[in-house]
Amino acid sequence: MLQVDVSKQLGEFSIEASFASEGRVTGLFGASGAGKTSLINIIAGLLRPDRGIITIDGETLDDTAAHIHVPVHRRRIGYVFQDARLFPHLDVRQNLDYGRRMNRLAEDPAARKRVIDLLDIGNLMDRRPGRLSGGERHRVALGRALLSQPRLLLLDEPLGSLDEQRKEEILPYLVRLRDEAGIPMVYVSHDAPEMRQLATRIVMLRRGRVAAFGGTEVLPLAASPA
């Protein structure tokens, strides 16, 4: 269970968001500029809230009143960025192993093989990110986050920078991930049909505030939000 109740001033813009979600995939939905990325950066620990609390399964990650702010590298929250952010000096294999090495986790060949098969990236292992297509890069980024064994996975518009054809290429992997990996996810998007396919709970953001919360029925029928 993810519990968020935070506020943060970012220049002229402010975020005041409060929700608690038990869904397998919590969709953060809203127009660009609604504060979706800032909100998951706060959850990830990349941004520090001015006030409020964040807890995962009862464990406190942020509590400004008690001066608690768990640093990003100790949160065990995986993050798949919109721009993939693979390490250019490491090949795919080293990118995938990075989280395991940094968390000093034991090697788990079976789990590793599962993720590699799930994402279909076994044939890319010796390549460097510069030699991957956009879709391949996103799959590797997804695998890298999964293999760090996070307790929550944040996905920031993982399809946002891809064209329609590539979106169709990645979407099935995300659905499989939701159904097979068993890691709760927070999925950020401004695309209602995409949300409908993936999310189980929706947090609708508008100008930094939670405008609606519920099942996929709170999504607008039009393709893009107002």
Partner 1 sequence: MFDISPTEWTAIQLSLRVATVATLVATPLGIAVAWLLARREFWGKSVADAVIHLPLVLPPVVTGYLLLLTFGRRGLVGAWLADHLGIVFAFRWTGAALACGIMSFPLLVRPIRLSIEAVDQRLEQAAGTLGAAPWRVFLTVTLPLALPGVVGGMVLGFAKAIGEFGATITFVSNIPGETQTISSAIYSLIQTPDGDTAALRLVVVSILIAMAALMASEWFARRATQRLHGN
Residue 98 Cβ vs partner 1, minimum distance, rounded to whole Å: 5
Reading the block at residue 135, the tokens are 């879709």
Closer residue to partner 1 (CB): 45 or 184? 45
Q: How far apart are CA 150 and CA 165, in angstroms?
A: 29
Contact segment (CB under 8 A) with partner 1 among 24-32, 123-131, 160-168, 217-225 equals 123-131
Q: In what order do the strands lie in the sheet with 77-80?
A: 68-69, 59-63, 51-56, 2-10, 13-21, 209-214, 201-206, 25-29, 185-189, 152-156, 77-80
103: contact with partner 1 by CB under 8 A? yes
102: contact with partner 1 by CB under 8 A? yes
126: contact with partner 1 by CB under 8 A? no
Residue 197 Cβ vs partner 1, minimum distance, rounded to whole Å: 25
Closer residue to partner 1 (CB): 56 or 145? 145
Q: From the list 3, 16, 46, 211, which residue makes contact with partner 1 (rule: CB under 8 A)?
A: 46
Q: How far apart are CA 137 and CA 102, in angstroms?
A: 21
Site for partner 1 in 132-171 (CB under 8 A): 144-145, 148
Q: How far apart are CA 14 and CA 135, in angstroms?
A: 33
Helix, strand, coil share (%) of the chain residues, nearest 5: 35, 25, 35
Closer residue to partner 1 (CB): 126 or 168? 126
- Contact flags string 62-91 toward partner 1, x per CB under 8 A: ---------xxxxxxxxx-x-x-x-xxx--
Closer residue to partner 1 (CB): 36 or 75? 75
* Three-state SS at 209: strand
Nearest 5°: phi and psi at 139?
-65, -40
The residue ranges that bind partner 1 (CB under 8 A) are: 44-46, 71-79, 81, 83, 85, 87-89, 98-99, 102-103, 128-131, 144-145, 148
